[in-house]
Amino acid sequence: MKPERSLVVTKDDGIIAFVREFQGGPCAGYWNRPAGSTWWWLPADAPDRVGWLDAAFAEWRRQNEERFPSGPSWAEEEPWLTTAELDAQRELDEHAERERKSQAELAARRRELEEAREAARLLADAAERRLLTAQGEALVAEVKAALEEVGFEVTDSDRLPANASEKLEDLRVCVDHWVALVEVKGYSGRRTAKTSDLLQIGRAATRYAITEHRAPDALWYVVNQQAGGNPALRPRPLVSNPADVETSERDGGLVIDTVDLFRLREAVRRGSVSGEAALQLLKKSTGVFTFA
Higher pLDDT: 44 or 151? It is 151
Answer for the pair 13, 31: CB distance below 8 angstroms, yes or no. no
Answer for the pair 193, 248: CB distance below 8 angstroms, yes or no. no
Q: What is the pLDDT of residue 75?
A: 74
Give the chain's count of helices (H) and strands (E).
8, 9
Residue 13 DSSP one-character state? T
Residue 229 DSSP one-character state? S
Contacts of 146 (CB under 8 A, 6+ apart): 128, 131, 261, 262, 264, 265
Q: Compute the Cα dihedral for 258, 259, 260, 266 and give only its sign.
A: positive
- Distance, in Å, from the CA atom of 75 to the CA atom of 72, rounded to the nearest integer, reads 6
All structural domains of the chain with their residue ranges: 16-76, 82-125, 130-288
Compute and round to an integer the Cα radius of gyration of the chain: 43
- Distance, in Å, from the CA atom of 4 to the CA atom of 26, rounded to the nearest integer, reads 21
Report the relative pairing of strands 16-20 and 38-41 from DSSP bridges. unpaired
Q: What is the pLDDT of residues 123-168, one digit of tens each?
A: 999 999 999 999 999 999 999 999 999 999 999 987 776 665 577 8
Instruction: Read off the pTM.
Output: 0.71
Residue 234 DSSP one-character state? P
Q: Is the pLDDT confidence value at 3 over 50?
A: no
Residue 5 DSSP one-character state? P
What confidence tier does 16 reach under pLDDT thresholds 50, 70, 90?
confident
DSSP string, 169-225: -SEEEEETTEEEEEEEEEEETT----HHHHHHHHHHHHHHHHHHSS--SEEEEEEEE
Answer for the pair 275, 239: CB distance below 8 angstroms, yes or no. no
Pick the CATH number of 130-288 from 3.40.91.30, 3.40.30.10, 3.30.910.20, 3.30.70.20: 3.40.91.30
Contacts of 54 (CB under 8 A, 6+ apart): 72, 73, 74
- Distance, in Å, from the CA atom of 189 to the CA atom of 191, rounded to the nearest integer, reads 6
**Mean of pLDDT values over 110-133:** 97
Q: What is the pLDDT of residues 208-261, one digit of tens each?
A: 999 899 999 999 999 999 999 999 999 999 999 999 999 999 989 999 999 999
**Mean of pLDDT values over 89-118:** 96
